[in-house]
Structure formats: structure tokens, C-alpha cells
A and B are shown apart, each in its own frame.
Chain A
Amino acid sequence: MRIPCPICGTRDRREFYYQGAASMLDRPAAEAPLEVWHDYLHLRDNPAGGTRDLWYHASGCGSWLVVERDTVTHEVLGAALVEACDAD
């Protein structure tokens, strides 16, 4: 499995750390109902097909990425930075 890091280029899976579903980025408002927070914290989809995950390029540039992949074909469809580089 290879992941196309937007900064480093396509790299081996060994360089990356898997965090979990990219839905973790959609944090509810602090005053949101308990069910919404429960869903955010504990409930995950388990799709047969397209999924979005958070991966950390631990041994490379050190960026968090949202990786789109297919759980049926194992195809990696793309990767995007969670936050753009801010020096430029």
C-alpha cells in the first residue's frame, strides 16, 4: 500500500501512522446534544467501499492527511493535507 503525500510524493505505508476515521475532524459544537457527541466519539461507519481516514506522515514531512481509499479493492484514491503549510 502506498499513499500519495501531497508534500513528499508517493510513499510506502510504513512511513505513515493510522489514526482513524476522518469524521474526527467534524467536531460538534460544545453545546451540541449528548447524542451528537456520543455519535462523534463512539459511532463509526464500517463501509464496504469508499472511506476517508486520517493518516499521519510520521517518518516523512510530519503532515496529517485525509486519505481516501476503497476497503473492497484496497485502491488508494488520493490524499489531501488537513491543514495547508503556512510558511508561504
Chain B
Amino acid sequence: MVELNALSACDGLLPVEHGRLTLREETLGAITSLAPFKGQGKALSAALQAAHGVGFPAPNRMEVSGDVACVWTGRDQAFLLGPQPDAGLGAMAAVTDQSDAWAVVLLSGEGAEDVLARLVPVDLRPAAFPLHAAVRTELGHMAVSIMRIEAGLRIMAFRSMAATLVHELSDAMAAVEARRRLS
């Protein structure tokens, strides 16, 4: 058996710093897509609560309990972030392991919202996008899921787009930092 070394999605690309802004990779553990079957939304939410301490999130929200999070990612779909999913969830939802499919980065520091304002067509300032808000949107032309956690703004993009994601964000961070120095 060949021993292979696992590389993270942003291996060799992060962290990046521009002035007060930092971009680093996050390691979340398991990422599991949950898509409730017809009529099973409430039952799935109750089973999630019992097994992992978080309910199925409302649109544009995430539920958090300790290291476990469940984030809304689309119509009748959410991602469980952290633990391996309880086997019983499969009776109520399509459960799909997506752990290696996503690049997950954290943008933090003063002006993080200004960086994303250059790339994302959603208002992500704290008044409109408070703690544990979560949107499915686009960054440039990339499909992304963005959520606000205590540490900053977490951005999830398809793993195949990791280098583009870091490039776009890094350029925007540099531009925001350059403008701050001028003012």
C-alpha cells in the first residue's frame, strides 16, 4: 500500500497578509451535505439537534454549537461542518461526504467587508450580515458560500477553484490596503 500525503486545498497558497487584513485556510473536519427528503425537513432538524446539537438552519443562517456548525447552502440543503454525521440522518436526507471538495478560507481584520464588496454582490457589512449569517452567492464568477463567524468572514469555494479564490481575494486585499494607506 502506497502511503500518500494529504494536502489541503490551499496548500502552499496561504496564509496571506496585507496590512491589517489576513487570509488563512481553515480546517473544519468533515463537511457533509444534507438534503432533506420530501416532507422530512422538521424530522431532520430534530435528529440533527439530538445527534449534533444544532438544528437545520433557516435560509441565510447557520446554527452553531461548540465546534459543530450547520450552514444553509441552498434550497432544502445545508452543510454539517465538523463531525462525522450520525448514521440515522440517512433515513431523512440525502447525506453526502464533501470533506475534500471545498477550499475553506477565513478573511479577517479591519476592512474585510471592503475586500468582499469588490467581489461579491451582497451587502456583508455587520448591520446587514451579522454573526452567523450565511449566504450562497458568487465571488467574481465563482460559486461560494460565505458566513460570518466570531473570527471573521469564512468563504467556501469549490476546491478546484482554490488558487483563483486566493488570487482574487489577495488582489482585493492589496487594493483595499493601498487605499487605506493613501487616506
Chain A residues proximal to chain B, CB less than 8 Å = 7-9, 11-12, 14-15, 59-63, 85-88
Contacts and interface: CB of A to CB of B under 8 A. Distances in A.
B36 interface: yes
Contact of A87 (B41, B137, B143): B41
B40 interface: yes
Contacts of B76: 85-87
Given A9-B60, A62-B74, A15 B137 contact: yes
Interface in B133-171: 135-138, 143
B125 interface: no
Interface of B: 36-42, 44, 59-60, 74-77, 121-122, 135-138, 143
A12 B37 CA distance: 30
A61 B74 contact: yes
The dominant DSSP class at the A interface is loop
B138 A15 contact: yes
Contact of B138 (A8, A9, A14, A88): A14
A83 to B, nearest CB: 10
A62 B121 contact: no
Given A11-B137, A59-B138, A63-B75, A87 B121 contact: no
Contact of A14 (B39, B41, B44, B121): B121
A60 B36 contact: no
Nearest to A61: B75
Given A59-B138, A86-B76, A87-B36, A11 B121 contact: yes
A15 B138 CA distance: 7
Contacts of A85: 41, 75-76
B75 A12 contact: no
A58 B138 CA distance: 9
